[in-house]
Structure 1
Amino acid sequence: MFNQSYWPHPDRLFSSDNSTRSVARALYQEIRHLPIISPHGHTDPAWFADNQPFGNPAALLLQPDHYAFRMLHSQGISLESIGINSQDPSIKVEQDPRKAWQIFADNYFLFRGTPTRMWMDHAMTEVLGVDQPLNSKTAQGIYDHIDAQLKTEAFLPRSLYERFNIEVLATTETAVDTLKSHLKINASDWQGRVITTFRPDSVTDPYHPDFSAHMALLAEQTGEDVHQWSDYLTALRKRRAFFQSTGATATDHSYPTPYTTVLSKDTCQLLLTKALAGEISAEEAQQFCGHMLVEMARMSQEDGLVMQIHCGVYRNHNQSLLARFGADKGADIPLKAEFVHNLRPLLNEVGNDPNLTIILFTLDEDVYARELAPLAGHYPALKLGPAWWFHDSPEGMMRYRRMVTETAGFYNTVGFNDDTRAFLSIPARHDVARRVDCNFLASLVCEHRITEEEAFELAHELTSGLARKAYRL
């Protein structure tokens, strides 16, 4: 079946200029085998707790990956046809993973030039041993090959974790999650480090679809009266402490905008009462969310958890898709964001604290040079997260480095995180980031803006050092 001539090029993502490419190669060889630090992502901790075989190639590579099926949907290919479960029982969903895989293979050409193609090729060749391009003719042979691999001990989740040379992998759970998988991992004799991240959006955003249910759970889990403002904050502190006790080092907060504000306790109590009664307006909900970001920052000052803020995305833009399939189905779209005014209340509260770490992410690239780099280049508490989501790509990463480095430097950034649900793409994503960073550093060396010795030191920092320090790992 296999054609040995098929393999991703060893110089991919390096400059076509001979001098720059030569330095990039040397830098990459220095750091390519360093352990993977994955401080923020969305893989399922149950994979590592239970260590059971992955189901089939479609379930592993296609169906969890919104990068993959959003492209197919854009070309008129239904999510039902590739086995994405619908919330409408009357809709027929393809149950045969082979048929779903065949559709993926028939349309694999659509991914030419995209990072998804690069990640998928890397996973199939370097992880799964496929050295033949995926297309209509090779689809079933490749499916059989991958399916056979997934049935072996070498492809169990823990085995892959170790093979990928992962040092630490962070998942993300809601504030009311039981963390049973993390507790099971911690109680096992496995040495892999899989930690959780505290994500309280469902109990800090009154317009979150799970707000009422999760607030009731929050009260039940903590024994606090969440109708009372001070007790509500105590409940959140208790849950943060529980997450921290299992290994968490960070929190995560996701809102369309980075709006923050500081409200009085009386106003907070009024808004909390309205939120729990389902009577809060959109403007009041924004006020509540904005103040809660400040409260979360204050709590991070107390307990030391690193605070991540992800902004600038309109989630679930496609209403009919949301109704049929639920959230996170590839219909999230970047939004324009403003940070200078929106973050000022938060930063004037906590931004000068050198012991606090707040990491900002955005999908609005326009603000990198104008707002984010100057802010991170000034406030001790502030760091810039890597190019995120739609910009987690060779061009996006290079634009990010070019726009932020002159103002914020390298040391006000936090390296790379993959932020993925697709486990097999983790080494591919980190490899892309390492190659892009090495290429960027090589260009600085060849332009005599940094020395080669500095470039080698920076290559180590961008690969692992900055992430370890920022996330307190």
Structure 2
Amino acid sequence: MVSSQPFLHPDRCFSPEPTQREAARRLYALVADLPLICPHGHVDPRLFADPEYAFGSPAELFIIPDHYIFRMLYSQGIPLEALGVPRRDGGPVERDHRRIWQIFAEHYHLFRGTPTGYWLRDELANVFGIQEPLTPQNAQAIYDAIDARLRTPAYRPRALYDRFNIEVLCTTDPATSQLEHHQEIRASGWHGRILPTFRPDGVINIDAPGWLQQIAALSEVSGVDVGDYRSYIAALEQRRAFFKQMGAVATDHAALSAYTEQLSSTEAEAIFQRARRGAASADDAARFTAHMLMEMARMSVEDGLVMQLHIGSLRNHNADLYERFGPDMGADIPVASEFTRNLRPLLNRFGSHPNFTLILFNLDESTYSRELAPLAGHYPAVKLGPPWWFFDSLNGMRRFFDAVMETAGVYNTAGFNDDTRAYPSIPARHDLWRRAAADWVAGLLVRHLIDEADAQAMVRALAYDLAKNAYRLQ
């Protein structure tokens, strides 16, 4: 039986209440076609360095690299080997990409009601022209349709950049990267604006696997012989200057806790040397990361790079999966967070500095109204990033709007970023945010808390202006 409803309903995400729905439609129409500002994400810059880059098979595009997809399948007992995810030891995994796609189709129902399911439906329809649900029966026909499109020039990453109406896209790059792909993009003369982001976690977190190797790499790429804390700081400053020269506007930092502490140079040197000897304790690692967040803030004041801080993910929770497949396998789990006390040293020193912007991301929703909104509503430097990771969803966005906007105000938030590796899903993610924002603003409008002019300005800010301004992308 063929449904009379469109595959993607034009009123999706809007309130069923008629007056609010009509206002949401009107507001959404104002922002639906604005360019996409993508100031934080994990798309590989290699996609844009080669004009002829091709994505590979549908399984390589949708399933094998995407932990949003395979973590759900894994939760239902499907081994990652069956989904073609490469093992660390080079052990056997499924090589038949059609078989991988069939498994995906047979379990596609698992994504019902999830943001991943919403993104997939939108992506399949609007990017690949698939106007029917994926099922076990039509799986191979849909595979063939996607595969055929991926072989055409219209589905090269640079062509999609234009089709998606992306104005700027920022990648996330290790501090030790020489940004060779960004250099190739620049040298090619292509008009796309792809900017790097400085991510120093590998050289800052002294308990990270391979930290000593990362320090050796830092020495090599910076030209600074890193043998003590002073030269370590000099090398980091050199790398930030290089990233900024290559167009970077921001840094990105991940930490389990928002704890910050200013160590003396003597204390920092002692911990750094213990780490070099492999003798640093867990307490050393926590204090050194806390201190280096202070140092990163200081450097941001000096060089103007926006500082992003992602808090509250306990990485690689599944030890067996980490041993077999490595990091980023869908086993990063949120923990409770505290910001008011932990960030006080950093904000007391830098929170009112006119050259500093700190964008906070968090996986503990209970802190939104209690801590984060009041902090953003007071300190000039603080902006709140959008709902992140597990909360990048319609309900997560609604909870965020309700929890923070009354206290922080719309203009102390940083708009939206897609934070994804899955490049073709970017338009779907932005569209969801724009629909959620339009519906939330419409709710204020129909309750007569704001007027039409306010509503139009707010929905545009949320869709476009806030991100552009927060990341200094003018």
Alignment of 1:336-347 (within 5 A): 336-347=336-347
Greater shift, 10-19 or 230-239, is seen at 230-239
Please give the alpha-carbon distance, in whole angstroms, between the structure 1 residues aligned to 2:304 and 2:93. Answer: 46
Deviation at 1:452, TM superposition (A): 1.4
Please give the alpha-carbon distance, in whole angstroms, between the structure 2 residues aligned to 1:400 and 1:3. Answer: 34
User: Do the aligned partners of 1:5 and 1:131 also contact (CA within 8 Å) in 2?
Assistant: no
Deviation at 1:232, TM superposition (A): 1.2
Please give the alpha-carbon distance, in whole angstroms, between the structure 2 residues aligned to 1:318 and 1:228. Answer: 35
The two structures have a TM-score, normalised by structure 2, of: 0.98
Cα RMSD for the two superposed structures:
1.2
Look up the match of 1:286: 286
User: Do the aligned partners of 1:313 and 1:335 also contact (CA within 8 Å) in 2?
Assistant: yes
Look up the match of 1:231: 231
Deviation at 1:6, TM superposition (A): 5.4
Look up the match of 1:77: 78
User: Do the aligned partners of 1:4 and 1:132 also contact (CA within 8 Å) in 2?
Assistant: no
Alignment of 1:226-375 (within 5 A): 226-375=226-375
User: Do the aligned partners of 1:164 and 1:427 also contact (CA within 8 Å) in 2?
Assistant: yes
**Cα distance, 1:5–1:447 mapped onto 2, change above 3 Å:** closer
Deviation at 1:3, TM superposition (A): 9.3
3-state SS in 1 of match to 2:411: coil
Q: Deviations over 1:263-282 (max 9, x none)?
A: 11111111111111111000
Q: Deviations over 1:289-314 (max 9, x none)?
A: 00000000000000000000000111
Alignment of 1:64-463 (within 5 A): 64-89=65-90, 91-463=91-463
User: Do the aligned partners of 1:358 and 1:381 also contact (CA within 8 Å) in 2?
Assistant: yes
Percent identity for Structure 1 against Structure 2: 53
Deviation at 1:427, TM superposition (A): 0.3
The two structures have a TM-score, normalised by structure 1, of: 0.98
3-state SS in 2 of match to 1:187: helix
Alignment size in residue pairs? 471
Please give the alpha-carbon distance, in whole angstroms, between the structure 2 residues aligned to 1:303 and 1:207. Answer: 27
Alignment of 1:24 with 2:52, yes or no, is no
3-state SS in 2 of match to 1:167: strand
Please give the alpha-carbon distance, in whole angstroms, between the structure 1 residues aligned to 2:205 and 2:41. Answer: 21
Deviation at 1:133, TM superposition (A): 0.9
Please give the alpha-carbon distance, in whole angstroms, between the structure 1 residues aligned to 2:341 and 2:203. Answer: 25
User: Do the aligned partners of 1:313 and 1:333 also contact (CA within 8 Å) in 2?
Assistant: yes
Look up the match of 1:55: 56
3-state SS in 1 of match to 2:359: strand
Deviation at 1:227, TM superposition (A): 2.1
Please give the alpha-carbon distance, in whole angstroms, between the structure 1 residues aligned to 2:430 and 2:158. Answer: 19
Please give the alpha-carbon distance, in whole angstroms, between the structure 2 residues aligned to 1:240 and 1:459. Answer: 34
Please give the alpha-carbon distance, in whole angstroms, between the structure 1 residues aligned to 2:4 and 2:424. Answer: 22
Q: Deviations over 1:101-157 (max 9, x none)?
A: 000000001110001011001111011011111010010000000000000000000
3-state SS in 2 of match to 1:54: coil
Deviation at 1:88, TM superposition (A): 2.7
Deviation at 1:62, TM superposition (A): 1.4
**Cα distance, 1:403–1:140 mapped onto 2, change above 3 Å:** same
User: Do the aligned partners of 1:6 and 1:132 also contact (CA within 8 Å) in 2?
Assistant: no
3-state SS in 1 of match to 2:226: coil
Deviation at 1:92, TM superposition (A): 2.1
User: Do the aligned partners of 1:6 and 1:133 also contact (CA within 8 Å) in 2?
Assistant: no
Please give the alpha-carbon distance, in whole angstroms, between the structure 2 residues aligned to 1:62 and 1:413. Answer: 32
3-state SS in 1 of match to 2:169: strand
Please give the alpha-carbon distance, in whole angstroms, between the structure 2 residues aligned to 1:330 and 1:466. Answer: 30
3-state SS in 2 of match to 1:370: helix
Greater shift, 136-145 or 446-455, is seen at 446-455
Which stretches in structure 2 are left out of the alignment for 5+ residues?
none
User: Do the aligned partners of 1:3 and 1:131 also contact (CA within 8 Å) in 2?
Assistant: no
Deviation at 1:393, TM superposition (A): 0.2
Residue type of the partner of 1:62? I
User: Do the aligned partners of 1:249 and 1:471 also contact (CA within 8 Å) in 2?
Assistant: yes
3-state SS in 2 of match to 1:346: helix
Deviation at 1:5, TM superposition (A): 6.2
User: Do the aligned partners of 2:168 and 2:194 also contact (CA within 8 Å) in 1?
Assistant: yes
Residue type of the partner of 1:306? V
Residue type of the partner of 2:209? P
Deviation at 1:315, TM superposition (A): 0.8
3-state SS in 2 of match to 1:405: helix
Please give the alpha-carbon distance, in whole angstroms, between the structure 1 residues aligned to 2:5 and 2:141. Answer: 17
3-state SS in 2 of match to 1:14: coil
Please give the alpha-carbon distance, in whole angstroms, between the structure 1 residues aligned to 2:136 and 2:3. Answer: 16
User: Do the aligned partners of 2:259 and 2:343 also contact (CA within 8 Å) in 1?
Assistant: yes
Which ranges of 4 or more aligned residues in structure 1 deviate by more than 2 Å? 2-6
Q: Deviations over 1:321-379 (max 9, x none)?
A: 11111100111111100001110111111011122100000000000000000011111
User: Do the aligned partners of 1:340 and 1:371 also contact (CA within 8 Å) in 2?
Assistant: yes
Please give the alpha-carbon distance, in whole angstroms, between the structure 2 residues aligned to 1:412 and 1:259. Answer: 22
User: Do the aligned partners of 1:61 and 1:424 also contact (CA within 8 Å) in 2?
Assistant: no
3-state SS in 2 of match to 1:337: coil
Please give the alpha-carbon distance, in whole angstroms, between the structure 2 residues aligned to 1:61 and 1:446. Answer: 40
User: Do the aligned partners of 2:45 and 2:181 also contact (CA within 8 Å) in 1?
Assistant: yes
User: Do the aligned partners of 1:262 and 1:294 also contact (CA within 8 Å) in 2?
Assistant: yes
User: Do the aligned partners of 1:255 and 1:312 also contact (CA within 8 Å) in 2?
Assistant: yes
Please give the alpha-carbon distance, in whole angstroms, between the structure 1 residues aligned to 2:403 and 2:320. Answer: 37
Q: Deviations over 1:21-44 (max 9, x none)?
A: 000000001100000000000011
Please give the alpha-carbon distance, in whole angstroms, between the structure 1 residues aligned to 2:323 and 2:228. Answer: 34
User: Do the aligned partners of 2:382 and 2:412 also contact (CA within 8 Å) in 1?
Assistant: yes
Residue type of the partner of 1:132? E
Please give the alpha-carbon distance, in whole angstroms, between the structure 2 residues aligned to 1:253 and 1:430. Answer: 23
User: Do the aligned partners of 2:178 and 2:221 also contact (CA within 8 Å) in 1?
Assistant: no
Residue type of the partner of 1:239? R
**Cα distance, 1:126–1:302 mapped onto 2, change above 3 Å:** same
Please give the alpha-carbon distance, in whole angstroms, between the structure 2 residues aligned to 1:426 and 1:303. Answer: 30
**Cα distance, 1:297–1:336 mapped onto 2, change above 3 Å:** same
